[in-house]
């Protein structure tokens, strides 16, 4: 991909429009930022721009106001959090376009930061409206996209605007995402192990199809495993299954065999009769799920076999938990796999909201090579799709 890097752009004294993803969560009681993970993620880019004397105009979407001004969906609460992290005051504009915004931008000095109001207050944002893009583009001389989490959306501030800016580049976070994910679809260090989980096979179907020819081993867990086991004719009790995809699961199993891939399914399961925390549970073999029970986690034999495969890897991609990790005692399998991934010494990439939550809960996030900030975007990237926000940056 021919995408200009931020460090190759002279930003001194220039107005820089930086698209970020500040779709954070707010505390319902105080209205303040509750989880600032997404703010922290873009700090390297904002600090770099400020240190090099850029006049920084930050823009983002926040929730879904559907083209209307919804006070509860204002980005204003982010100002205090961002100011704290940057160690200096951040100005705020009550809109993202218009004379008042243009005046606020004109007042910026080198190193100053201005946060614009929610882009989605304008219906044209989600419609990729060229007129809105034109007004946004007029605010700056340089466009920096550091919102990988929104890169799969053809929206005005992500797609249309990039085509209008003569100088456009990826922010440090965006570049890290591209640099970390691209090798998975190109020339990964081998053995390349893909670990996929989550509730349904339908949500990961294209990822499975796209990664299967590229990886050496594929390890399947979570609810999606039981559609595959059903395709093998094994009893699954009340476990989650997508009946309309059983035949497709069988085709994937046949294709994995044809390609000579190691395609692993659970060897044992932790089952319970109820889907609730601390429900009475037991471990049963692959073919031993009772009629009235459901599998809610992978068992110890599966953990051992999967960990053995992960230990041999040079590249690992993990997307989707191996069980209902939010509920005890059904979190052990996912946490054990998290430890295996963190300890394998390979280039490890974790993507997807639940997977990220899992590595954080397991306390191993700092031992993962790259944790993707884009749930939907990383999935579409792994499916082999072209992301509008990435494509628009290409020269």
Q: Determine the Cα–Cα distance for residues 369 and 325; give it in Å rounded to an integer.
A: 22
Question: Which residue in the list 14, 15, 19, 38 is annotated as catalytic?
Answer: 38
Question: Which residue in the list 53, 67, 375, 376 is annotated as catalytic?
Answer: 376
Question: Which residue in the list 67, 203, 288, 353 is annotated as catalytic?
Answer: 353
Question: Which residue in the list 76, 127, 134, 200 is annotated as catalytic?
Answer: 200
Could you tell me the sign of the dihedral formed by the alpha carbons of 379, 380, 384, 390, in that order?
Answer: negative
- Please report where in the chains the tokens 């160690």 appear, as a residue: 87
Contact 359, 386 (CB under 8 A): no
Q: Per the structure block, which two tokens stand in for 236?
A: 């699954």
Q: For the chain, how are helix, strand and coil distributed in percent, rounded to 5? A: 40, 15, 45
Q: Determine the Cα–Cα distance for residues 54 and 46; give it in Å rounded to an integer.
A: 9
Q: Which helix (H) or strand (E) holds 58?
A: strand 55-59
Contact 191, 313 (CB under 8 A): yes
* Burial (CB count within 10 angstroms: exposed 0-12, middle 13-18, buried 19+), residue 213: exposed
Q: Determine the Cα–Cα distance for residues 32 and 310; give it in Å rounded to an integer.
A: 40
| Residues with Cβ within 8 Å of residue 198, at least 6 apart in sequence | 204, 222, 223, 224, 319, 320, 321, 352, 354
Rounded alpha-carbon distances, angstroms, from residue 7 to 67, 169, 181, 316: 35, 9, 20, 29
353 included as an active-site residue? yes
Annotated catalytic residues are 38, 200, 353, 376
């Amino acid at each position: 991909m021919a995408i200009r890097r931020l460090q190759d752009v002279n930003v001194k004294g220039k107005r820089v429009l930086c698209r970020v993803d500040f779709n954070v969560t707010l505390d319902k009681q105080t209205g303040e930022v509750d989880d600032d993970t997404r703010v922290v993620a873009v700090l390297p880019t904002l600090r770099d721009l400020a240190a090099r004397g850029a006049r920084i105009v930050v823009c983002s979407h926040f929730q879904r106001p559907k083209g209307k001004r919804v006070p509860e969906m204002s980005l204003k609460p982010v100002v205090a959090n961002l100011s704290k992290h940057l160690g200096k005051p951040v100005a705020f504009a009550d809109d993202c376009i218009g004379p008042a915004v243009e005046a606020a931008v004109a007042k910026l000095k080198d190193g100053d930061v201005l946060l614009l109001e929610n882009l989605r207050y304008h219906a044209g944002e989600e419609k990729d409206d060229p007129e809105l893009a034109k007004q946004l583009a007029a605010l700056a001389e340089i466009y920096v996209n550091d919102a990988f989490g929104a890169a799969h959306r053809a929206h005005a501030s992500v797609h249309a605007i990039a085509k209008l800016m003569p100088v456009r580049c990826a922010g440090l976070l965006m570049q890290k995402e591209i640099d970390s994910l691209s090798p998975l679809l190109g020339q990964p260090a081998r053995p390349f192990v893909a670990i996929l989980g989550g509730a349904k096979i339908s949500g990961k179907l294209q990822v499975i199809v796209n990664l299967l020819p590229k990886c050496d081993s594929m390890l399947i867990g979570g609810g999606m495993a039981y559609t595959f086991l059903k395709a093998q004719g094994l009893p699954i009790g009340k476990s989650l299954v997508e009946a309309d995809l059983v035949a497709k699961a069988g085709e994937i199993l046949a294709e994995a065999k044809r390609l000579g891939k190691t395609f692993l399914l659970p060897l044992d399961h932790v089952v319970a009769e109820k889907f609730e925390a601390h429900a009475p549970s037991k471990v049963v073999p692959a073919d031993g799920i009772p009629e009235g029970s459901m599998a809610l986690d992978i068992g110890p034999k599966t953990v051992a076999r999967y960990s053995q495969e992960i230990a041999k890897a040079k590249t690992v991609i993990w997307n989707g938990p191996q069980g209902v990790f939010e509920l005890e005692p059904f979190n052990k399998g996912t946490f054990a796999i998290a430890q295996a991934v963190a300890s394998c010494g390979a280039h490890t990439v974790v993507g997807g909201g639940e997977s990220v939550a899992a590595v954080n809960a397991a306390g191993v996030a700092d031992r993962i090579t790259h944790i993707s900030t884009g749930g939907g975007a990383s999935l579409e990237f792994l499916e082999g799709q072209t992301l509008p926000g990435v494509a628009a940056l290409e020269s």
